[in-house]
Amino acid sequence: MINKLGFGFLRLPKKENEIDWSAVNEMVDVYLAGGRTLFDTCYTYLDGLSEAAIKRCVALRKPRESFQLSEKLPGYLFHSYEDCQTYLEEELERCGVEWFDILMLHWLNDVNYAKAEKYDEFRFLREKKAEGKAKRIGFSFHGSAELLERILQAHPEVDVVLLQINYLDWESVGIQSRLCYETCVRHGKAVFVMEPVKGGTLSSLPEEAEAMLRRVHPDWTPSDWALRFVQSLPAVEICLSGMAAVSQVEANIRLFEPLTEEEIALLAEVAKIIEQKTAVPCTSCRYCVSHCPKKIPIPQYFRMLNELHRYPREGWKIKPTYQQLAQTTGKASDCIGCRSCEKHCPQHIEISEQMKTIAKSFEG
């Protein structure tokens, strides 16, 4: 029986456009009472409110030894080695703690890894571990298995790698979940997982796909299948879930047996169906939105496009929803093709091209 659930502070519940603090407090209490202890945050999550929630709902309410905290340094924002210390001190203050259990570099890819090397960010991690400011060190990764191999060869000192893994991306040519996982295994690194439900994509499946799963386990939800797949991987230590309700915490902290080979093979068949029914593999991380000069609500528009792709006859229902949202935000046709959003998309989506499709679908 296993449960490797980590609590990601990325998709917290809101009430009237503010964090629902009482709801987050209850979620934290239920999570800890269920025997799980690791919380994950980042400098940029929720524009800083994620770290504020860690401080208010965890650090100020619970003994430090009762929980673990994983944090990420936004090295892509740095302009010098000294910035490492500046941002670390700010993160410690914002989270209300004196050390981190896991300290990572955030979002390594080709560009950000080059910057990490330029400013000697791995040396900073080693120093903080020696000082006791970080018990373990690592990085979150969005790149190819080949790049990951180079990083781990150059930096065997890292303890943890945070990867995007789910059964839909397992054999993805772009995400390379399996290849990256196997690279970490070869190097003996603990694997933390983000996006196990792919931003909610795997919690709401096409009818045909969900029916296949229900026939095998009628009492399992699609999210159960997604979380069990990731947690069944032996090298996975923590499976982060960005939960937004107490009911999700209660469902996710249950103990369960690892999936069988037959069940894993079934998920591979389900993945094929989902791929056929999905126009855009967006996870709603919203990194793109904060970098859009036209303030286009890109994830919401992608959800509408995917819904239209799955249910083409429902376009007459979806179009008014799009038009209503577009009245108060940027329209898809407002996109100027600057591609700033694409530089920050972990899924490598050609967003500017998709905006043309959305404009044609909903503005014509």
Q: What is the pLDDT of residue 235?
A: 98
Residue 313 has pLDDT above 90, yes or no: no
Q: What is the pLDDT of residue 243?
A: 96
Nearest to 203 by CA among 299, 274, 304, 257: 274
348-355 mean pLDDT: 95
The string of pLDDT tens digits covering residues 142-181 is 999 999 999 999 999 999 999 999 999 999 988 999 999 9
Q: Which residues of 206-240 are buried (b: 16+ CB within 10 A; e: fewer)?
A: beebbebbeeeeeeebbbbbbbbbbbbbebbbbbb
Total H helices, total E strands in the chain:
15, 10
Q: What is the pLDDT of residue 117?
A: 98
Q: What is the pLDDT of residue 174?
A: 84
Q: What is the pLDDT of residue 60?
A: 98
pLDDT, mean over the chain = 95
CB 126 within 8 A of CB 87: no
Under DSSP, the state recorded for 2 is B
Q: State whether residue 176 is helix, strand or coil.
A: coil
For 5-277, give the CATH class.
alpha beta
Residue 311 has pLDDT above 80, yes or no: no
* The most confident of 174-178, 260-264, 300-304, 312-316, by mean pLDDT: 260-264
Domain ranges of the chain: 5-277, 289-362
The string of pLDDT tens digits covering residues 30-69 is 999 999 999 999 999 999 999 999 999 999 999 999 999 9
The string of pLDDT tens digits covering residues 65-110 is 999 999 999 999 999 999 999 999 999 999 999 999 999 999 999 9
Residue 136 has pLDDT above 90, yes or no: yes
Q: What is the pLDDT of residue 332?
A: 97
Nearest to 140 by CA among 85, 89, 87, 71: 71
Q: State whether residue 272 is helix, strand or coil.
A: helix
The string of pLDDT tens digits covering residues 209-237 is 999 999 999 999 999 999 999 999 999 99
Helices (H), 187-280: 207-216, 222-231, 246-252, 261-277
Q: What is the pLDDT of residue 48?
A: 94
Q: Percent of the chain, pLDDT > 70? A: 100
Up-side HSE of residue 149: CA atoms within 13 Å toward CB? 8
- Alpha-carbon separation of residue 153 from 101, 148, 188 (angstroms): 24, 9, 12
DSSP string, 122-151: HHHHHHHHHHTSEEEEEEEE-S-HHHHHHH
